Structure 1
């Protein structure tokens, strides 16, 4: 099997290059650099390891647990991890079955009173209160031990976002860098990181923020995609080449926070906006060229850069920002 570049692996497995680099960073996925070859390459063993990681992630195995499975050859440890996850799933199934049964009772009561002006007290039965009290308010991720059709329906319902925020971004001035080629996110990040450190931006603007977006989006029709990063700067600050000073007009966005590298949740945020009764997407006319005007705000990035990226620093969180307007 020939060595594959990070772009080739990304396309074959339909995962982002950022995710692959993150797996490398935390020690899950080995890679190598071929002599006289600037890009990351992966051999057959690395590809098989990646396939294993992807399968385990689809089975809701955490990255921390995957690291233990890959590091420990004894099957007993893997069995223990799987059994622990099965027990947690069983608890969630029990909770969801309870929720379903209570909702069925509510539907039955409401159906009996259709067409009447009677104000129905859904909680008049103290036994129902006792059943509901132990349930948690947190979102339940679960898989039912039923048909694949049932599983897909359950995942569709439970996959809806519950914590979307509406934010208004004000106008601001940014230092921008754009690159199209191999590893564009890493390339632009390195350039902006150098600028933040050398300019002492954090000392001049402690509330500085960092945003990024695909420019252009990945596509089978082009060998490489691009990425553009922005850091907010004082209006009167000059920026050195190759950075470009730009103005951002601001706008209204639907926001959802993810833990790096859960970029697949872009689909969930898009679906939330499309199904909203109050908001509609407000994508840029440039469309795919600039990710429709969507932004990824890398939270605490400026501070971490200023501090030299300490190993025990803040965990990576990102706000996904989708432009919206009132219907």
Structure 2
């Protein structure tokens, strides 16, 4: 879309929004709108005579799509793929499903990693009495020292 596509015969841009209005309408900050435009996720916006960006309802719809995709944890390249599929009326839904299932698999792996971190932290926390002494297996565990409460050989490292 060009600026002349939006400008009526009196020089106004009917139905177009400023970047601030588009940000409020989409839930995406003006800074992120400019960023998405700079990396090609959002097509370049037409400009006013004063060089202000102007956005139409379609651009806001795309921004909402990006915002929702980000809230679901999709990476920018995955969003680029989803946008391409969204704009392709000849797409196969199997392609969209494949992108989604790959993302779910990535999330499952991250959830597993987070669960392992949580388990390690709970083991370290349980190895420490949490009293007034300065020695603590939590700090030893983070430092990778023996007797960190995670199954090392030094049973005396527990805070007593």
TM-score normalised per structure 1 = 0.33
Hey, what's the Cα distance between the residues in 2 that align with 1:103 and 1:57?
29
- Please state which structure has a larger fraction of its residues in helix: 2
* 1:131-142 correspondence runs (5 A): none
| Other-structure match for 1:7 | 20
| Other-structure match for 1:101 | 119
Hey, what's the Cα distance between the residues in 1 that align with 2:32 and 2:131?
51
**C-alpha distance 101-17 of structure 1, shift in aligned 2 (>3 A):** closer
Q: Contact 1:69/1:77 (CA < 8 Å) preserved in 2? A: no
| Other-structure match for 1:59 | 72
Q: Contact 2:23/2:30 (CA < 8 Å) preserved in 1? A: yes
Partner SS, residue 54 of structure 2: strand
Larger Rg: 2
Which ranges of structure 1 fall in alignment gaps of 5 or more residues? 128-327
Q: Deviations over 1:139-170 (max 9, x none)?
A: xxxxxxxxxxxxxxxxxxxxxxxxxxxxxxxx
| Other-structure match for 1:86 | 104
Q: Contact 1:5/1:39 (CA < 8 Å) preserved in 2? A: yes
1:26 to 27, 39, 48: 39
**C-alpha distance 51-106 of structure 1, shift in aligned 2 (>3 A):** same
Hey, what's the Cα distance between the residues in 2 that align with 1:25 and 1:65?
17
Partner SS, residue 46 of structure 1: helix
| Other-structure match for 1:236 | none
Hey, what's the Cα distance between the residues in 1 that align with 2:84 and 2:52?
26
Structure ranking higher on relative contact order (CA contacts 8 Å, 6+ apart) = 1
Hey, what's the Cα distance between the residues in 2 that align with 1:70 and 1:100?
35
| Other-structure match for 2:3 | none
- What is the Cα deviation at residue 2 of structure 1? 1.6
Does residue 110 in structure 1 map to residue 136 in structure 2?
no
**C-alpha distance 26-95 of structure 1, shift in aligned 2 (>3 A):** closer
Hey, what's the Cα distance between the residues in 1 that align with 2:37 and 2:151?
55
**C-alpha distance 110-3 of structure 1, shift in aligned 2 (>3 A):** same
- What is the Cα deviation at residue 115 of structure 1? 7.2
- What is the Cα deviation at residue 97 of structure 1? 1.5
- Please state which structure has a larger fraction of its residues in strand: 1
Q: Contact 1:56/1:66 (CA < 8 Å) preserved in 2? A: yes
Q: Deviations over 1:222-248 (max 9, x none)?
A: xxxxxxxxxxxxxxxxxxxxxxxxxxx
Which ranges of structure 2 fall in alignment gaps of 5 or more residues? 1-13, 138-146, 154-160
**C-alpha distance 37-104 of structure 1, shift in aligned 2 (>3 A):** closer
